[in-house]
Amino acid sequence: MLTAKGTVDDKVRALDMGADDYLVKPFSAKELFARVRALSRRPDHEITSDCVTFEDVTFNAQKNTLTTPVKEYKLSVKEAKILEMLLKRPNQVFAREQILDRVWGFENEVNENNIEIYVHNLRKKLKGSNVKIDTIRGIGYTLGKG
């Protein structure tokens, strides 16, 4: 939650109502990005099944397979991690930094172009389905209806 209300009662009320975090304005962009990175590292609890389905595609996390109307694909570990992250939260924009942190690890030095290669491969596999990965220029990626 990002707000100008900074009393202890305001913070307690927001956190009790379900806010994951609370940041009072004015704030440092450095702190905001650190908090976003920390939140993105939290495990996803909303979907506990090994299979995630969105529109006409199904991802099996146990087998690292993507099933589309066209074909079933065996995914690499990195492709599977990226796709699972996007499928669990369709229409949410994931910054490149979030993807790097979750897939390659926070301490790992990897080029952002690596993400583009894996996303390109996933897009090819999603052709013929009702799902697409969109690039949000200057920010990152989102998964939605195609």
In the chain, domain spans: 1-42, 47-145
Output 48 or 110, whichever has higher pLDDT.
110
Q: Please identify which residue in the block is written with the tokens 């499928």.
A: 87
The CATH code belonging to domain 47-145 is 1.10.10.10
Structure tokens at 12: 């307690």
Given this model, what pLDDT does residue 83 score?
A: 97
Q: SS3 for 15?
A: helix
Using the predicted structure, report yes or no on whether residue 44 has a pLDDT greater than 70: no
**What are the beta bridge partners of residue 141?**
94, 135
pTM given for the model: 0.67
| Mean pLDDT value across the chain | 88
Q: What percent of the chain has pLDDT over 90?
A: 56
Using the predicted structure, report yes or no on whether residue 13 has a pLDDT greater than 50: yes
Q: SS3 for 124?
A: helix
Output 16 or 116, whichever has higher pLDDT.
116
pLDDT digits (tens, 9 = 90+) for 71-104: 999 999 999 999 999 999 999 999 998 898 888 8
For residues 38 and 115, give the distance between their C-alpha atoms in angstroms, rounded to a whole number.
20
Assign 49 a pLDDT band (cuts: 50, 70, 90): low
